Amino acid sequence: MSRRCVICGVGPMAGRTIKRKGLAKKKGGVGKKTTRTTKKVFLPNVQRIKAIINGSVRTVMVCAKCIKAGKVQKA
């Protein structure tokens, strides 16, 4: 099973993490400097739950946001 919500379709997203060093200017330093950027995959909070879909019980992958919002009816 993929890491994708069957209700809203949210999936893994690519981004970057930025490492910085130094002291901020407002704290009396010369400013933050970027030392490294690395690629990162941000994974959604997808849970495997039993839900009622089209009148039958199925095990599906649903994100926590959809569960909290009540978009899926648990079995």
Residue 8 in any domain: the answer is no
Q: Which residues of 37-70 are buried (b: 16+ CB within 10 A; e: fewer)?
A: eeeeeeebebeeeebeeeeeeeebbbbeebbeee
**In the chain, how many domains are there?**
1
pLDDT at 34: 96
Give me the mean pLDDT over the 4-24 stretch.
96
Residue 20 in any domain: the answer is yes
pLDDT at 9: 95
Residue 2 in any domain: the answer is no
pLDDT at 2: 83
Residue 7 in any domain: the answer is no
Residue 47 in any domain: the answer is yes
pTM for the model stands at 0.72
Q: Using the predicted structure, report yes or no on whether residue 10 has a pLDDT greater than 70.
A: yes
Residue 61 structural domain: 13-69
Mean pLDDT across the chain, nearest whole number?
A: 95
